Amino acid sequence: MRKESTLYLKLRQKQDVFCTRGTAQISRATLRQLPRLPGRPPLGLVRIGSQALFCALGRNGVGVKHREGDSITPIGRFRITRWMRRPDRWTIFRADCRAISKADGWCDDPRSFSYNRAIRLPTRFNAETLWRNDALYDILGVIDFNQRPRVIGRGSAIFMHIAQDGYHPTAGCIALAAKDFRKIQFRLGAAPQIVVGDIFTRRSPKIAEPTRTFVAPI
């Protein structure tokens, strides 16, 4: 057996599998927006090691994210801080990937002090349900945009998740085809860095002063 072969460990009677690799994992990925064609949604290219993969972006492409709901994929240097999956659908997974339950949500309501945080459902505030009927959140990586510190109303729930057919635009997330996610989920190391856009040459427009800011407790 080759050293780089995957070690499969079967868990429970559901035949769930988590995998680890013996080879060095990749700690950094980059994303660039491709030139936009008239009448076509924005499309990006994610580079992870030697692999280059298409991805869906927010409807308004990569840029400086100003507010909740602006459909912009934020430019900058971030980390994927956690992985989550639907346990009934995504059965081959990373060892650090947590199972999603029906009570899992993500708060996107600027009125809440849990804004841009994982929460338990139901809640009186607006929140995104992570247990979805479609396949978008069968596997997802949480990107640490606007988390420490949090600027209320600047944007929330920026994930790397599964793309819709035809790379339909997202609300600001980065979305890969399911087959590509299966290729790369084990190649990325713990808390990998993802560099979105040309952060070294892009001149960022001035950001309006936030109405309310706070640093979340650890």
Integer-rounded Cα radius of gyration of the chain: 18
CA quadruple 169, 170, 173, 174: dihedral positive or negative?
negative
Q: Which of 10-19, 35-44, 62-71, 110-119 has the lowest mean pLDDT?
A: 10-19
Mean pLDDT, the chain, whole residue set = 85
Residue whose entry in the numeric block shows the structure tokens 């427009």 = 205
Instruction: Name the more confident of 201 and 157.
Output: 157
Domain boundaries, given as residue ranges, for the chain = 26-199
CA distance 142 to 161: 9
**Residue 200: pLDDT band with limits 50, 70, 90:** low
pLDDT at 82: 96
Interval 108-125 mean pLDDT:
97
Mean pLDDT across 169-197: 95
Q: How many CA atoms lie within 13 A of 94 on its CB side?
A: 22
pLDDT for the residue 25: 86
| Four-way CATH pick for 26-199: 1.10.10, 2.30.30, 1.20.1300, 2.40.440 | 2.40.440
Q: What confidence tier does 161 reach under pLDDT thresholds 50, 70, 90? A: very high
Helix (H) / strand (E) containing 11? strand 6-11
Alpha helical stretches, state H, the chain: 178-184
pLDDT for residue 181 is more than 70: yes
pLDDT grade for 192, boundaries at 50, 70 and 90: very high
Which band of pLDDT confidence, cut at 50, 70 and 90, is reported for residue 37? confident
Confidence check: pLDDT of 3 > 90: no
Sign of CA pseudo-dihedral 55, 60, 62, 66: negative
